[in-house]
Amino acid sequence: MAEIAERSVEIQLGCGLMAAIFQLGKSKPSKQPVPPLPTKSSANDLTPIRPSITYLDAKKSAKNPRKLGVKHSTQPLSITPRNSISHDQKHVRRSTSDGTRISSKQSSTFSSSHKMSQVVNLANTKKPRREPTFTPSDLTATGALNRASSTGNIMLLGQLGNLKQQKNQNGSSDQKTIGRVVLMGNIVKQPSIRSHMLNKLDPDVLKCMGNEHYRNGRFEEAMALYDQAISINPRNACYYSNKSAALMSLGRLMEAVIECREAIRLDPFYHNAQSRLARLYLRLGEAEKAIDHYKQCGRKVERRDIAEAQDLKRSICNCIEAHKLRDYSTLLKESQNAMSFGADSAPQIIAMRAEALMKLQRHEEAYITIQKGPNFETELCTCLFGSTKTAYLLIIRAQVYTLVGRFDDGIAAAQEAAKLDLSNEITKILRRIKGLASARLKGNDLFKESKYTDACSIYTQGLEQEQYNSVLLFNRAACRFKLGQFEKAVEDCTAALVLRSSYLKARFKRADCYMKLERWEAAIQDYEILLQEKPGNEEVKRAYLDAKIQLERERNEDQKQRKLSNGSNLVLVTSN
């Protein structure tokens, strides 16, 4: 019986050695050696003991592991000589916990298993350990760890990695258990669905994806990814700074300022954000704030940046002084200088420049200046620049819109300005814009009813409030054309074109007036300009050809008259 029991023990030990070598090839190495095997056993449940292997057998197995019935391992098997056993390993207890003595044969077998364990552990320490990455769900494998450690096949937690065990249809693990030894089977290391989703929700990964979109010019997509990163981790200043850069590229400068401010609030020493905010303030015409943030940029700032901000500050001061003196020519010059220093999106500079052009009767340029400037939201503009500056920008915009015929937009802008600043000047401008809009509406209704005289009178009343309104001038010219007052109609059209050279309706009406007045050359000049603007307009083409025909006919008649006049002046001379 003793021999049968001993034989069964050796069989189990062989399985344990195979599992140990299998783990040696598959698992990640550990920096620390595996603790020694437990020595406790009982009479009914004997702890498996590894087979006794001599030094010569172990040396042979390192060259050919198949001789011991073990699968070949990709890592070399290190051999520990007998005389290298530590002092603590020499004094192995030879009795169980209940006092049962172990035979000398079992004792020698137990000592040999200790040596073999050291061989495996030394092999595991050959390579440097890499820290595993796993989720808490992967810790379910600790059950297998406990079972394996109870059999002497030690599997460290660091060696498990992200190994997932596939389950069969019954839901049980696809492991094979021999006695109490766990065999992992064919483990395929694949990323789990959960870890894949976690990578997609990693804010740093989202930031990198956003940076790639930004480099490729896809600023909207980049900003959306930065927003996702911020929603996951709202305490990272870099995400806000990168979003600010995307907003700058989209021309949404005020929103970019808000994001950059948040980045600096989270990290006041974030030099990239400080530099970006300084450039934003420079473009928005806030020279003093730009200088303050440039000084906090550290090595990111250059002297020329601060010098440019100081030049802008001086130019803005000159603009304010010229505006107070109503010196609009100087204001126009200084505003251009300020924009050349980088304040290309400054609301105050744009408003002052548009006002100067408007006062100099250059309405077309004033409108272009307002259109090219950024269309700021009132709330954001008020938050950054205050209610006074925002109201000034709105009231200038309202007047420019009214001058080019956008009366509804002008009224809306003036009403917003009045909400922010109830000064007498803004109230007066709002009242005037409403009067102009009313005059235009009433005059148009009378014109549709063919009441041209009454309509002309209403338009005149509107022009008394604002004599340089190109739309009302054109409408009155249309009424005078219907009344046969072609010369007066030409005067109104010419005045409208002086204010707005691209006002095609006024030019076409003036050309018609010239045709009625038989001023063919003047009509042809207007038609040629119209054809350059609208080459496919058939009505203009017919009128142009008709004018040329009439001009050619008039020239032919003039030539005939000259010939007749020359013939009548001939004197017959005869000789005597």
Confidence of residue 566 (pLDDT cuts 50, 70, 90): low
pLDDT of residue 286: 93
The answer to whether residues 269 and 288 touch, using CB atoms and an 8 Å cutoff, is: no
Shared fold status for 198-301 and 313-422:
yes
The answer to whether residues 399 and 421 touch, using CB atoms and an 8 Å cutoff, is: no
Q: Indicate the SS3 state at residue 75.
A: coil
Rounded mean pLDDT, 278-302: 90
Exposure string for 240-266, b = 16+ CB within 10 A, e = fewer: bbbbbbbbbeeebbbbbbbbbbbbbeb
Is the per-residue pLDDT at 232 higher than 90? Answer: yes
For residues 103 and 326, the model is more confident at 326
CA pair distance 188, 284, nearest whole angstrom? 59
User: What homologous superfamily is domain 313-422 in, according to CATH?
Assistant: Tetratricopeptide repeat domain (1.25.40.10)
Other beta carbons within 10 angstroms of residue 287's beta carbon come to 25
CA pair distance 149, 155, nearest whole angstrom? 7
Domain boundaries, the chain: 198-301, 313-422, 434-557
Q: At what angle do helices 2-26 and 104-124 cross, to 10 degrees?
A: 0
Q: How many helices (H) does the chain have, and how many strands (E)?
A: 26, 2
The dihedral sign for the CA sequence 190, 192, 195, 200? positive
For 176-241, what is the HEC assignment?
EEECCEEECCCCCCCCCHHHHHHHHCCHHHHHHHHHHHHHCCCHHHHHHHHHHHHHHCCCCHHHHH
Lowest mean pLDDT among 65-74, 380-389, 485-494: 65-74
Other beta carbons within 10 angstroms of residue 554's beta carbon come to 13
Confidence of residue 143 (pLDDT cuts 50, 70, 90): very low
Query: Residue 315 half-sphere exposure, CB side, CA atoms within 13 Å?
Result: 27
Topology annotation, domain 198-301: 1.25.40
Is the per-residue pLDDT at 475 higher than 50? Answer: yes
What's the chain's average pLDDT?
A: 74
pLDDT of residue 298: 79
Lowest mean pLDDT among 104-108, 336-340, 354-358, 454-458: 104-108
pLDDT of residue 568: 54
Residues 6+ apart with CB under 8 A from 533: 502, 504
Residues 6+ apart with CB under 8 A from 198: 135
CA pair distance 116, 89, nearest whole angstrom? 12
CA pair distance 341, 310, nearest whole angstrom? 10
The answer to whether residues 467 and 483 touch, using CB atoms and an 8 Å cutoff, is: no
Rounded mean pLDDT, 388-411: 94
Return the percentage of the chain with pLDDT > 70, whole number.
63
AA letter at 430:
L
Other beta carbons within 10 angstroms of residue 354's beta carbon come to 26
How many residues are given for the chain?
Answer: 576
Rounded mean pLDDT, 555-576: 66
Residues 6+ apart with CB under 8 A from 553: none
Confidence of residue 116 (pLDDT cuts 50, 70, 90): very low
CA pair distance 407, 394, nearest whole angstrom? 14
For residues 540 and 117, the model is more confident at 540
The burial of 290, by beta-carbon neighbours within 10 Å (0-12 exposed, 13-18 middle, 19 or more buried), is given as buried
Is the per-residue pLDDT at 75 higher than 50? Answer: no
The 8-class DSSP code of residue 574 comes to -
Lowest mean pLDDT among 68-77, 131-140, 302-311, 383-392: 131-140
Q: What is the pTM of this model?
A: 0.61
pLDDT of residue 534: 86
Other beta carbons within 10 angstroms of residue 81's beta carbon come to 10
Q: At what angle do helices 407-420 and 378-385 cross, to 10 degrees?
A: 40
pLDDT of residue 127: 42
Is the per-residue pLDDT at 267 higher than 80? Answer: yes
Confidence of residue 192 (pLDDT cuts 50, 70, 90): very low
Is the per-residue pLDDT at 509 higher than 50? Answer: yes
Mind giving me the DSSP string for 3-66? HHHHHHHHHHHHHHHHHHHHHHHHSPP-SSPPPPPP----SSSPPP-PPP--HHHHHHHHH-GG
Rounded mean pLDDT, 47-66: 44
Residues 6+ apart with CB under 8 A from 431: none
Confidence of residue 113 (pLDDT cuts 50, 70, 90): very low
Confidence of residue 200 (pLDDT cuts 50, 70, 90): low
Is the per-residue pLDDT at 395 higher than 90? Answer: yes
pLDDT of residue 199: 54
Rounded mean pLDDT, 131-151: 38
Q: Which CATH class is domain 434-557?
A: mainly alpha
Query: Residue 305 half-sphere exposure, CB side, CA atoms within 13 Å?
Result: 24
- Distances in Å between the Cα of 390 and the Cα atoms of 384, 385, 434, 566 are 9, 7, 21, 74
pLDDT of residue 497: 95
AA letter at 195:
S
Is the per-residue pLDDT at 305 higher than 80? Answer: yes
- Distances in Å between the Cα of 506 and the Cα atoms of 327, 399, 443, 513 are 31, 21, 17, 11
pLDDT of residue 133: 41
Rounded mean pLDDT, 94-99: 41
Q: Indicate the SS3 state at residue 340.
A: helix
Query: What Rg do the C-alpha atoms of the chain give, in angstroms?
Result: 47
